[in-house]
């Protein structure tokens, strides 16, 4: 490699690092002031995804949000969504690259929640009540979402409206989740179901009526279950 090419490459990479640093959204940056609350130590990496409805978004202290993450309230900018926060992300969270969190009524993400890349979380979905009207033209339906503190969502997981995850839950990669799951649940599959749980009496175990251990991440191992081995999903319209 020639000296000129090496020098130009070095300058380009230094410039890009400087742009990323300057473009990050933090409590002290102009874009940070648009949020209802953005806590100390928060950083939204550059380049961001679609971000709008900031006045209804609260982000807790020391939360890190990766590149190209979309966090938004409403269908489009400029809507009036009422006096209260709609999207709340707790303190100490890490939101993976390319994730989308799209709120219309209420999404509450607890403290210390980590996600892999390309997770999708929404509280609104299209309906198909009328068989004669195109689904995309039917009025969508909202249902609140809550993700308990200390939970981990694997790569490509989809959290649908009406989902409540308890504290310290694991969602396998590629899972499509709807429904209520108690604390310390391992959730996997399409549609997702609880494949492992924890009680002081039994420790980590397979709940009655659930899939065998082999369908849980890493064969159901309680400690090594990085949930990126979920079954792939067939692309489908899951939300607006």
Percent of the chain with pLDDT over 90: 71
Q: Average pLDDT, whole number, for the chain?
A: 87
pLDDT of 239 over the 50 cut: no
pLDDT value of residue 129 = 93
Q: Reply yes or no on whether 13 is catalytic.
A: no
Question: 143 and 201 in contact (C-beta within 8 Å)?
Answer: no
pTM: 0.83
Q: What is the pLDDT of residues 158-182, one digit of tens each?
A: 999 999 999 999 999 999 999 999 9
State both tokens at 23: 């473009």
Q: What is the pLDDT of residues 206-226, one digit of tens each?
A: 987 554 433 333 333 333 333
- Omega before 48 within 30 of 0, i.e. cis: no
User: Beta-carbon neighbour count of residue 154 at 10 Å?
Assistant: 26
User: Cα angle at 229 between 143 and 236, to 5 degrees?
Assistant: 45
Pick the catalytic residue from 13, 21, 62, 126: 126
Q: What is the pLDDT of residues 61-93, one digit of tens each?
A: 999 999 999 999 998 888 888 999 999 999 999
């Amino acid at each position: 490699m020639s000296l000129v090419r090496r020098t130009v490459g070095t300058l380009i990479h230094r410039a890009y690092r400087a742009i990323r640093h300057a473009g990050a959204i933090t409590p002290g940056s102009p874009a940070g002031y648009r949020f209802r609350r953005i806590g100390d130590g928060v950083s939204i990496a550059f380049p961001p995804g679609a971000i709008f409805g900031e006045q209804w978004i609260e982000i807790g202290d020391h939360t890190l949000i990766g590149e190209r993450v979309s966090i938004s309230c409403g269908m489009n900018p400029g809507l009036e969504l009422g006096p209260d926060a709609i999207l709340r992300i707790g303190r100490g969270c890490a939101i993976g690259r390319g994730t989308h969190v799209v709120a219309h009524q209420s999404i509450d993400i607890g403290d210390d929640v980590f996600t892999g890349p390309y997770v999708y979380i929404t509280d609104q979905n299209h309906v198909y009540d009328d068989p004669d009207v195109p689904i995309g033209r039917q009025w969508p339906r909202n249902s609140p979402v809550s993700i308990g503190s200390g939970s981990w969502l694997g790569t490509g997981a989809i959290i649908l409206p009406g989902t409540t995850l308890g504290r310290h839950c694991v969602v396998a990669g590629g899972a499509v989740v709807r429904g209520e799951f108690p604390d310390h649940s391992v959730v996997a599959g399409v549609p997702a179901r609880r494949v492992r749980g924890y009680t002081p009496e039994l420790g980590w175990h397979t709940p009655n009526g659930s899939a065998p251990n082999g369908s849980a991440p890493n064969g159901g191992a309680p400690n090594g279950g990085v949930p990126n081995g979920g079954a792939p999903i067939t692309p489908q319209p899951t939300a607006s």
